[in-house]
Amino acid sequence: MRIDIFTLFPDMFVGPFAASIIKRAQDRGLVSIAIHNIRDWATDKHQITDDTPYGGGGGMVMKPEPIFAAVEAVRGDDSCPVILLTPQGRVFTQAVAQELATYPRLMLICGRYEGVDERVREHLVTDEISIGDYVLSGGEPAAIVVVDAVVRLLPGVLGYERSALEDSHATGLLEGPHYTRPVEFRGWRVPDILLSGHHARIAAWRRQQALLRTLQRRPDLLARARLTPQERAWLRNQGYTGPFAGEEAVNGKAPSPFPA
């Protein structure tokens, strides 16, 4: 996969992309990431990339010409998703990351100031993504989050020690507790079941812990998780009253099985 990022602050990407999984993926040729400074495509003497908003009001808006010039020059004749990171976009989830990971090429545009001229959204951008409901100073941290989540899904990026399929949010559940040596730390012992060597019982305990932790911290996730009928019944017993996948809620109630 090739990823092109358009930004006024290219320095913000240097550290995050020069370490850990993303660095390894680039070194192995599994992804090629290019950072482009939008300012390089400004044509005036002062290389201006922003201007005051028509209609008045405070702040500045990113001008369309340098963004169009940058994206069109780098894209060439290719067609690929051109994604704007913005609080107005669809919310980024593991499902969106999986979708983006299927493309051979992505372009990410990072806005700044009050945002970008609307003609960029209307005539250049193909997709708008938000990583959550909070205010950032610009789209750069969101672009780093999107790149991290997508790159680790590319074939060959993760080692065998951990498949992307086992990840929390790929299962639709939070993970339960993890322990490593020592078996006793400051008087706190590792649960005996994990030392028992009974692999099937350990797997069942871990699944139960994942269900319990999801119920306690993110019960909203249970509505979409893949659960057996036995697991659904057990969660009801633990006090879960919400919906499960396949049970279509109507006005907050389960639908009547009888025709109206």
DSSP 79: -
- The type of residue at 196 is S
Give yes or no for residue 136 binding ligand JAH (CB under 6 A): yes
Side-chain-facing half-sphere of 158: CA atoms under 13 Å: 15
Give yes or no for residue 144 binding ligand JAH (CB under 6 A): no
Give yes or no for residue 53 binding ligand JAH (CB under 6 A): no
81 is catalytic: no
Contact string 102-131 vs ligand JAH (x = CB under 6 A): ---------xx--x--------------xx
Out of 128, 167, 175, 231, which one is annotated catalytic?
A: 167
Q: How far apart are CA 88 and CA 128, in angstroms?
A: 7
201 is catalytic: no
Give yes or no for residue 142 binding ligand JAH (CB under 6 A): yes
152 is catalytic: yes
Which lies closer to ligand JAH via its Cβ, residue 64 or residue 111?
111
Among 85, 151, 174, 227, binds ligand JAH (CB under 6 A): 85
> Which residue is at the shortest CB distance from ligand JAH?
111
- Total residues interacting with ligand JAH, rule: CB under 6 A: 14
236 is catalytic: no
Q: Which of 58, 44, 64, 48 is nearest to 109 (CA)?
A: 64
- Give SS3 for 205: helix
Considering the complex, what minimum distance in angstroms separates the CB of residue 30 from ligand JAH?
26
Q: Residues 6 or more apart from 124 whose CB is under 8 A from it?
A: 67, 68, 71, 82, 109
- Give SS3 for 88: strand
Which lies closer to ligand JAH via its Cβ, residue 32 or residue 93?
93
Considering the complex, what minimum distance in angstroms separates the CB of residue 124 from ligand JAH?
15
Considering the complex, what minimum distance in angstroms separates the CB of residue 230 from ligand JAH?
38
- Give SS3 for 129: strand
Residue burial 103-136, b: 16+ Cβ < 10 Å; e: rest: eeebbbbbbbbebbbeebbeebbebebbbeeeeb
Give yes or no for residue 132 binding ligand JAH (CB under 6 A): yes
Out of 10, 53, 81, 87, which one is annotated catalytic?
A: 87
Out of 114, 118, 166, 247, which one is annotated catalytic?
A: 114
Q: For the residues of 24-53, what is the DSSP string, one character each?
A: HHHHTTS-EEEEEEGGGG--STT---EEPP
Binding site for ligand JAH (CB under 6 A): 85-87, 111-112, 115, 130-132, 135-136, 138-139, 142
Catalytic residue set: 87, 114, 152, 167
